[in-house]
Amino acid sequence: MSELFYATLSSVWDLLQKKEVSASELTQLCLKRLETTEPKLGAMLTVDAEGALEQAKTLDRQGPDPNCPLWGVPVTVKDVILTRGLTTTAGSRMLENFVPPYDAFVVERLRKAGAIILGKANMDEFAMGSTTENSAYHAAHNPWDVQKVPGGSSGGSAVSVAAGQCFASLGTDTGGSIRQPAALCGCVGMKPTYGRVSRYGVIAYGSSLDQVGPLARSVSDCARVLGVIAGHDPRDATSSPCAVPDYLTALASNGDLNGVRFGLPKEFYGAGLASDVAAACEKTLQCLREAGAESVEVSLPHTHAAIATYYIIAMAEASSNLARYDGVRYGYRSQNITDLESLYVKSRTEGFGQEVRRRIMLGAFVLSSGYYDAYYKKAAQVRRIIRDEYLAALDSCDVLLCPVSPVTAWPLGQHANDPLKMYLMDAYTLSLNLAGLPGLSLPVALAASGLPIGMQIIGKAFSEAQLFSLGQAMENLLPAIGQPKL
Amino acid sequence: MSEETKIGPQEVRHMAELSRLEVSSEEEHVFAGQFAEIIGYMDVLQEVDVTGIAPLYSPVSHESRAREDQVQSVRSHAEILANAPKADENYFIVPKIV
């Protein structure tokens, strides 16, 4: 059972159902894997060994349930998602001792499906960052090369999946935070359509952009997890009443690439794309064409304005959302206070890290009197243009296909003092969140450096089944990248 | 950056005040430089013609449905107060206001 930790979720689920392995054995295997790999990787903020083993024991006593698609499967959950009774920090000192009194909707769903929650995955503070270096606790490291970043903000989730610490993880994606770490760590990540998954119990960053989604080691595993967490929830008014298809059934009728029209947004293949990433994309396209797919050039003309649009909206929403951290009802309270005003100011100043403070202040600026129209309102108008351009592009093809990150994983610390440069790294991911559309990031190759390269398939709203089906066809077609050597 | 948008230490102090945050004098200068660069970059939007374009504040496509208000007891007093930095059995406690 030595390499079982690298097996797919679907295959261990089969083993569990046949009682060839017990939930307790599998949980112990993952805990052991965490113990040996965490000193190098830092993927987790909290490991709940006791709780996980207890849950596994209960499940084993009850016996396998074929109606529970995650029965006995150990998973990790990004620390921005509330877990009842289990500390949830959002990667911030502000919430260092916060123990949620309730589960997020997606966690309720995980538990009902029989999943075992191993612990909470590391992340950039309040999901603000692209490397997981902004975690207030410790950085996470890329399992393919521990000197490199794993991406972010769901870096801990991607690392825990890629390193075989768990069989799937839940992340959140506000501007690429599932797709980019999945690409940099060589796993599969799905950012669902805005509204597909309830945000109830997810600590808010950009409320019109945030979406929870799965990371796993295969497309089918991602589909299985999304099937569990998707659906309407009356506690989140933005969650969609649109019916959830059976994603696994959609995959059973093996996706055919023959005649599929892949749209290639020309703005995503231009200057700024590293040569090894460009070459991997070209090679992938060649394989797809050989399998009978077609490619057509499409255009998203306002791509150059997307980064500015995104950061204005995200920061504005962040400054409003993070106003709730006032040191009164929960979270950090400064000891250094004289009156109510200083309680607010000192608690927030001491509790938030620098990037979070930067985004709150910039958000307050773009919403402030005299600047609101020029920045926030203007960005919302450009957002509509960007969304409409996506929809128009998707009218001339079946799906879009493009790189996820312009470069492979970079060294830790590289952009630490240059926030703007870091924002520019999100160029290929964040416009999707502005448009609210779904995107599936999957590994397509290893670069000569030994680091993974990912591409994303983008579809119309609520086309996740189609993305999974095409993603699985690509997965079958392309040579597997293997696992990191740890 | 547009002519009228100047970001210096004074503007940073104003942004901090709006945000109920404090910045040290050292940070004021670091943030001023970074903010000038970031907000300068945002000016790419000034070139986009948005005449007649309605703002898109949310990508939600379904209509919100109203529901009847219902009185429910979802969580107990004790659960809610358990995370408070300072509380007694019934209330959050803050410094004296009046």
| DSSP SS3 for A294 | strand
Contacts of B55 in chain A (CB under 8 A): 377, 380-381, 383-384
Contacts of B53 in chain A (CB under 8 A): 381-382, 384-385
Tens-place pLDDT, residues A106-130? 999 999 999 999 999 999 999 999 9
- Whether residue B10 lies within 8 A of chain A, CB to CB, comes out as no
Q: Which DSSP category does A408 fall into?
A: S
Tens-place pLDDT, residues A261-300? 999 999 999 888 999 999 999 999 999 999 999 999 999 9
**Beta-carbon contacts below 8 Å between A and B:** 169
**Residue of A381, A426, A463 best to disrupt the B interface, most CBs of B under 10 A:** A381
Tens-place pLDDT, residues A153-173? 999 999 999 999 999 999 999
| DSSP SS3 for A418 | coil
Q: Hey, are the CB atoms on B85 and A333 less than 8 Å from each other? A: yes
- Whether residue A461 lies within 8 A of chain B, CB to CB, comes out as yes
In this complex, which of B46, B57, B80 lies closest to A101 when CB atoms are compared?
Answer: B80
Q: Which amino acid is at A453?
A: I
Q: Is A153 a catalytic residue?
A: yes
Residue B4 pLDDT greater than 60, yes or no? no
Tens-place pLDDT, residues A424-452? 889 999 999 999 999 999 999 999 999 99
Q: Hey, are the CB atoms on A423 and B21 less than 8 Å from each other? A: no
Distance of CA A391 to the CA centre of its chain: 23
- Closest CA of chain B from A354, distance in Å: 10
**Residue of B5, B17, B30, B48 best to disrupt the A interface, most CBs of A under 10 A:** B48
Domain ranges (residues) in chain A: 2-260+397-477, 303-378
Residue of A313, A367, A381 whose CA lies nearest to B55: A381
Distance of alpha carbon A193 from alpha carbon A300, whole angstroms: 19
CB < 8 Å from B in window 176-195 of A: 194-195
Domains detected in chain B: 3-46 (1.10.20)
Cis before residue A153, ω within 30 degrees of 0?
A: yes
Distance of alpha carbon A483 from alpha carbon A450, whole angstroms: 11
Distance of alpha carbon A312 from alpha carbon A206, whole angstroms: 11
The ipTM assigned to this model is 0.95
Tokens of A57: 């024991």
- Whether residue B46 lies within 8 A of chain A, CB to CB, comes out as yes
- Whether residue B84 lies within 8 A of chain A, CB to CB, comes out as yes
At residue A25, what are phi and psi to the nearest 5 degrees?
A: -60, -45
Q: What whole-number percentage of chain A has pLDDT above 90?
A: 95
**Active-site residue among A10, A24, A78, A405?**
A78
Contact A459, A437 (CB under 8 A): yes
Q: What is the mean pLDDT of residues A305-316?
A: 97
What is the full DSSP assignment across A154-200? Answer: SHHHHHHHHTTS-SEEEEE-SSSTTHHHHHHHT-EEEEPPTTSB--T
Q: Hey, are the CB atoms on B20 and A348 less than 8 Å from each other? A: yes
Q: Which amino acid is at A197?
A: V
Q: In whole angstroms, how large is the CA radius of gyration of chain A?
A: 21
Tens-place pLDDT, residues B12-68? 999 999 999 999 999 999 999 999 999 999 999 999 999 999 999 999 988 888 889
Q: Is A266 a catalytic residue?
A: no
- Closest CA of chain A from B14, distance in Å: 9
CB < 8 Å from A in window 51-70 of B: 53-62, 64, 67
- Whether residue A105 lies within 8 A of chain B, CB to CB, comes out as no
**Active-site residue among A10, A24, A130, A153?**
A153
Q: Which DSSP category does A479 fall into?
A: P
Q: Which amino acid is at A2?
A: S
Q: Does the CA dihedral B4-B10-B16-B20 come out positive or negative?
A: negative
Q: Is A218 a catalytic residue?
A: no
pTM exceeding 0.95: yes
Tens-place pLDDT, residues B61-85? 888 888 899 999 889 999 999 999 9
Burial class from Cβ neighbours inside 10 Å (0-12, 13-18, 19+) for residue B97 reads exposed
In this complex, which of A329, A343, A361 lies closest to B95 when CB atoms are compared?
Answer: A343
Contacts of B11 in chain A (CB under 8 A): 365
Q: What is the mean pLDDT of residues A395-417?
A: 94
CATH architecture of A2-260+397-477: Alpha-Beta Complex (3.90)
Residue of B nearest to A96 (CA): B83
Name, in order, each residue with C-beta under 8 angstroms of B41's C-beta and a sequence gap of 6 or more. Answer: A307, A308, A420
| pLDDT top residue among A242 and B98 | A242
Distances (CA, A) of A122 to A38, A146, A162, B24: 11, 15, 14, 29
Distance of alpha carbon B89 from alpha carbon B72, whole angstroms: 21
Q: Hey, are the CB atoms on B59 and A435 less than 8 Å from each other? A: yes
In this complex, which of B37, B59, B94 lies closest to A208 when CB atoms are compared?
Answer: B59
What does the pLDDT read at residue B1?
52
Q: Hey, are the CB atoms on B85 and A309 less than 8 Å from each other? A: no
CB < 8 Å from B in window 420-449 of A: 420, 423, 434-437
Q: Hey, are the CB atoms on A385 and B53 less than 8 Å from each other? A: yes
In this complex, which of B11, B41, B54 lies closest to A384 when CB atoms are compared?
Answer: B54
Name, in order, each residue with C-beta under 8 angstroms of A23's C-beta and a sequence gap of 6 or more. Answer: A16, A55, A56, A57, A59, A60, A71, A72, A116
What does the pLDDT read at residue A1?
44
What does the pLDDT read at residue B98?
79
Give the torsion through C-alpha atoms of A146, A150, A156, A160, to 10 deg: -60
As a whole number, the mean pLDDT across chain A is 96
Residue of A nearest to B2 (CA): A374
Q: What is the mean pLDDT of residues A15-21?
A: 98
Q: Hey, are the CB atoms on A309 and B45 less than 8 Å from each other? A: yes
Give the torsion through C-alpha atoms of B24, B20, A368, A378, to 10 deg: 90
